[in-house]
Structure 1
Amino acid sequence: MQMNQQSKDMNLIIQLDKNERLKGNLYLGSVYGADSIKQDNSQKIFSILSIGNEPENQIKFDPKEFNHMTLEIYDHPNFKILPFFETAISFINQELQENNLLIHCFAGASRSSTIVIAYLMKEHKMSFLEAFNLAKSKRQKTNPNQGFLEQLKQYENILKYQQQ
């Protein structure tokens, strides 16, 4: 893959809400997409949620320019990602009030897409399947590992129970 293809490795998932609840757009991408923001920020992304298993090796963002949060999550089917959902969703909600936000992991396929799907389920009242299909339609690389898929289905049941 050439660098110019990698540097644009992010996809728009949700655009501004018509009812003005959200002021920012939500993007899903890879580490290459995140790194490209430093050179060309034509999407005007000023909030970044980085998900990786070695936070110290993550891209460093200037705190004067970007609101940045890093979550240490391993892309392994046995890893418990569900406990991270509320922290991530809280950050996403806070940042989308003001900024465009990129959620990324290394490939933009498993960890970051799992967080995006959980966010869509909770905040946009989507079923697991609706959220998964939306993410997949916007970013073909969306591919949570089997353990993450199971935890998203578990989360769907938790959300249903909370709504009763």
Structure 2
Amino acid sequence: MPYRVRENLYIGNIGDAAEILQNGSTEITHILSVLSSASISFFSEWKGLTIPTKEIKKVYAGGSGGASASEDDSGDRKMGCLVSDKLLYLLEYAGKDLKLVRMGVPLRDTENEDLLDHLDVCFDFIDRSRKEGSVLVHCFAGVSRSAAIITAYLMRTENLSQEDALKSLRQSCEFVCPNDGFLDQLKMYEEMGFKVDCASPIYRSFRLKVLGESYHRGDRIDSSKFGADPGVAGEVASGVEAASNEGKTVTPAFRCKKCRRVVALRDNVVDHIPGEGEQSFGWRKRKSSNSYNKYEDSDSECSSIFVEPLKWMTAVEEGAMEGKLSCVHCEARLGYFNWAGTQCSCGSWITPAFQLHKSRVDVSTI
């Protein structure tokens, strides 16, 4: 049976959801299904159940909805890491006499699955459902995916840390246990101030990681998720205007040393924890037992900056695994990229890597 977490909010598994969809409930009026497939056919494949439904709408990352869409989906247009043709959610009437409202969100229970970019739509549905009745949030076992969604919801609505929110949830359902990847993302959510902040360096690093994993799975890389080209006058102007409106200092810009075209802004930089210089490289490690081969005094300052993929990087857009990064204006070589990663001069390994050599760019302000 479902476990009550808060007023009008329950957590459960697929069996709990199936029971309500088949026989109805005096309490539950809405169901949030977080399964590997958003379709109600998942229940048929699981137990051969036939559950009547009537679609309200489908929404894809990028904001496209079905012809039956009855709600404004303008808030769905910023989908972060999700490719533009990925189904974000399915909304439908379901169950006995079509009295239940069900949202299906496709989410796998794997450590590299993108939880963050599904949180806002789940929260909106939970909030609306609790105002209209009661909502059951369920996944297959009621242990990881549903627990991650509700933990994040408690973090946001009650201003709780990840640890405190999960502890509170376990007081209602002691066996919940989000997978390690979800826990990492919940920690990011906390560090971003209980919101998915696409401008945050934390989120930018996360987005880069997701893009890299998508590439290695063989997925099509959606270049619309690349950072804007800072060398395009309109985009630079809008960035400067946004910074001034927020009272921020103008962001430093990195320019091609040869032609002075802007190739990156400070906001495009993906920070990393410095390594231990030459000692971090594999061939140095193999010789580390040699007392004459010590590098304690070596300068481990980074000789490159690493940025998110940007729309001027044509070789990246064309799908190459690795290659040179050249200025789109004068074709001077600026750096190197590799989806499998590369090692910075400081010794830290960056994956995937979009590297601009400091010797090829100058720093200025716009």
Normalising to structure 1: TM-score of the pair?
0.81
- Match 1:111 to one of 142, 145, 149: 145
Distance (Å, rounded) in 1 between the aligned partners of 2:9 and 2:23: 19
Cα deviation for residue 99 of structure 1 reads 0.8
1:90 equivalent to 2:98? Answer no
Aligned to 2:296: none
SS in structure 1 opposite 2:135?
strand
Cα deviation for residue 61 of structure 1 reads 5.8
SS in structure 1 opposite 2:31?
strand
Amino acid paired to 1:50: S
What are the Cα deviations for residues 84-110 of structure 1, in whole angstroms up to 9, with x where unaligned? 011100111111111110000000000
Amino acid paired to 1:149: L
* Greater RCO, CA 8 A, separation 6+: 1
Unaligned stretches of 5+ residues in structure 1: 1-7, 16-24
Cα deviation for residue 41 of structure 1 reads 1.7
Aligned to 1:30: 13
Matches within 5 A, 1:38-53: 38-39=22-23, 41-42=25-26, 44-53=27-36
Cα deviation for residue 160 of structure 1 reads 5.6
Amino acid paired to 2:30: S
Distance (Å, rounded) in 2 between the aligned partners of 1:160 and 1:70: 23
What are the Cα deviations for residues 29-73 of structure 1, in whole angstroms up to 9, with x where unaligned? 00001111132524x101000011023333446413011100000
Aligned to 1:13: 5
| 122-131 or 143-152: bigger deviation | 122-131
The structure having more radius of gyration, on CA atoms, is 2
Aligned CA distance change for structure 1 residues 75 and 117 (closer, same or farther; 3 Å): same
What are the Cα deviations for residues 112-163 of structure 1, in whole angstroms up to 9, with x where unaligned? 010000111111222111110111111122110000000000001112688x
In the alignment, is the contact (CA less than 8 A) between 1:136 and 1:142 conserved in 2? yes
Amino acid paired to 1:147: G
Matches within 5 A, 1:57-72: 57-59=41-43, 60=51, 62=53, 63=93, 64-72=98-106
Unaligned stretches of 5+ residues in structure 2: 44-50, 54-92, 198-366
Percent pairwise identity: 30
SS in structure 2 opposite 1:106?
coil
- Match 2:174 to one of 140, 153, 163: 140
Distance (Å, rounded) in 1 between the aligned partners of 2:52 and 2:170: 28
Distance (Å, rounded) in 2 between the aligned partners of 1:160 and 1:67: 27
SS in structure 1 opposite 2:123?
helix
Aligned to 1:22: none
In the alignment, is the contact (CA less than 8 A) between 1:61 and 1:68 conserved in 2? no
Distance (Å, rounded) in 2 between the aligned partners of 1:149 and 1:118: 10
SS in structure 1 opposite 2:124?
helix
Distance (Å, rounded) in 1 between the aligned partners of 2:190 and 2:24: 37
In the alignment, is the contact (CA less than 8 A) between 1:50 and 1:58 conserved in 2? no
Distance (Å, rounded) in 1 between the aligned partners of 2:139 and 2:117: 17
How many residues are paired up? 144
| 102-111 or 136-145: bigger deviation | 136-145
Matches within 5 A, 1:151-162: 151-159=185-193
SS in structure 1 opposite 2:193?
helix
SS in structure 1 opposite 2:169?
helix
The structure carrying a bigger strand percent of its residues is 2
Amino acid paired to 1:58: F
RMSD between aligned residues: 1.7
